[in-house]
Structures are given as structure tokens and as C-alpha cells.
A and B are shown apart, each in its own frame.
Chain A
Amino acid sequence: DQQVKQNSPSLSVQEGRISILNCDYTNSMFDYFLWYKKYPAEGPTFLISISSIKDKNEDGRFTVFLNKSAKHLSLHIVPSQPGDSAVYFCAASGVSSGSARQLTFGSGTQLTVLP
């Protein structure tokens, strides 16, 4: 049962254009959503997050949009640069069955920015 889904395994965009990575979730108890970037042979690196009480958060070239009614979020990268080529993971957190919080990850989208 995948609670966080990234339905596009890969995405290619031209340098300078906008990259849009999408993510859907099913658990309405999630209250924070995060995006991580991962280069080969490295661990995931935190990129940006958004609280469920907001619909947009911006940090430089990265903007995350949240549509709670659709249980959908997206990451926009403008302008895209070749160094942005990596696997992007969407993740969500909320109160789990225990007392702790944990991150639930999607399966990732490989972004390739073409020069």
C-alpha cells in the first residue's frame, strides 16, 4: 500500500526551462511534505518542505505547491540547470501508529536536465 506515489519514474527537460515533478498521497493524516534530491552514491539531501496548512513554499529556484483537496503536491524548478539532474523523492510525515514520526517516501523521479 503506497501512501506516497510518484508516477513518473523519469523526466527530461531543457536547461533554462521549468521542471515540474509531481507527487500524490493517500493518507490525509500527513501534515508535512518534503522533497529530497539524491545523486548517485550519496544519501538523499533535503531540498524544501511545506506544511499542510500552506499551499506554497518558495526557496530560490525551488517552489513546492500543495493541493490538499486533490492530495497532490508538485515541485517546480525554475530555471532548470544541468546540476539539478538527480533523483527527486517526495516524502511525507505525520503521526504514525506509534508515538513517533517518520518519513514515508515515494519511489522517486529521475530528472535529467539537458544542456
Chain B
Amino acid sequence: DTGVSQDPRHKITKRGQNVTFRCDPISEHNRLYWYRQTLGQGPEFLTYFQNEAQLEKSRLLSDRFSAERPKGSFSTLEIQRTEQGDSAMYLCASSFRASGERFGYTFGSGTRLTVV
């Protein structure tokens, strides 16, 4: 198992364009999380899935953001009509059930988005 994989590692896009990121969690983990980290801050929760069901979304997740996990395996995070304020590191993490909140999620290396 190679851990949590995220693709791409870096993305530069023009304002107004749509972008999509992919996350492949650890195979036996049924929970998948998306976090966003801006410079000088800690990661902020965006949304999480248990299997294919999206169970919670942060108010940070505006209607321009959508996340899916169609078969309970990989997940995608799409940002439509990107804005400069969307520039951040987007982190994916996975865990087995609720153990992550007690014993730590496994994070991927993140996708760094730069909106110009």
C-alpha cells in the first residue's frame, strides 16, 4: 500500500477556469476527508465521505465546490469558476471508520493550487 495519493501535485490555473483534483485513499479505509490549507494556517475541514456517502460539508465549501466519491474508493474535488482566494494546498486524508479522530488520519501530500 502506497498510502494516500493525490493528483496533480501542482496546478496553476487562470481565474474563472474549472479545476478537478483526485484522491486515492488507502484501500481499506472507508472514510475520506478533504481539507484546505492556506499559507501560515493549519488545515481546515472541507468535507468528508463514509464510503460513497458525503456526510458533512463545511460552510467553507461554497456552491462552486463539489466533491464526489462515486464508488466509495477514489474521490474528486472540483472547483468551478476559480477565484484567487481559492489558491491553497488541498489535502486529502483517509481513515478506517472513526479511528482517525482518535489515532490520526493518513494525509496525502496535497495538491497545491495557484489561481492567477
Inter-chain contacts of A49 with B (CB < 8 A): 102-104
Q: How far is the CA of A105 from the CA of B33 in the complex (A)?
A: 14
For chain A, give the interface size range: 20 to 34
Contact A105 B42 (CB under 8 A): yes
Cβ of B72 within 8 Å of any chain A Cβ, yes or no, is no
Q: Which chain A residue has the least Cβ–Cβ distance from B93? A: A43
Inter-chain contacts of B55 with A (CB < 8 A): 98-100
Contact B33 A102 (CB under 8 A): yes
CB distance from A64 to the nearest CB of B (A): 12
- Overall SS of chain B's interface: mixed
Q: How far is the CA of A68 from the CA of B76 in the complex (A)?
A: 39
Cβ of B48 within 8 Å of any chain A Cβ, yes or no, is yes
Cβ of B44 within 8 Å of any chain A Cβ, yes or no, is yes
Q: How many residues of B contact A (CB 8 A)?
A: 27
Contact B109 A46 (CB under 8 A): no
Contact B98 A105 (CB under 8 A): no
Contact B110 A43 (CB under 8 A): yes
B-contact 0/1 string along A40-53, CB 8 Å cutoff: 01111111010100
Identify the interface centre among A9, A47, A104: most chain B CB within 10 Å of its CB: A104
CB distance from A10 to the nearest CB of B (A): 11
Contact B42 A89 (CB under 8 A): yes
Contact A43 B91 (CB under 8 A): yes
Identify the interface centre among B4, B33, B104, B107: most chain A CB within 10 Å of its CB: B104
Cβ of A65 within 8 Å of any chain B Cβ, yes or no, is no
Cβ of A36 within 8 Å of any chain B Cβ, yes or no, is yes
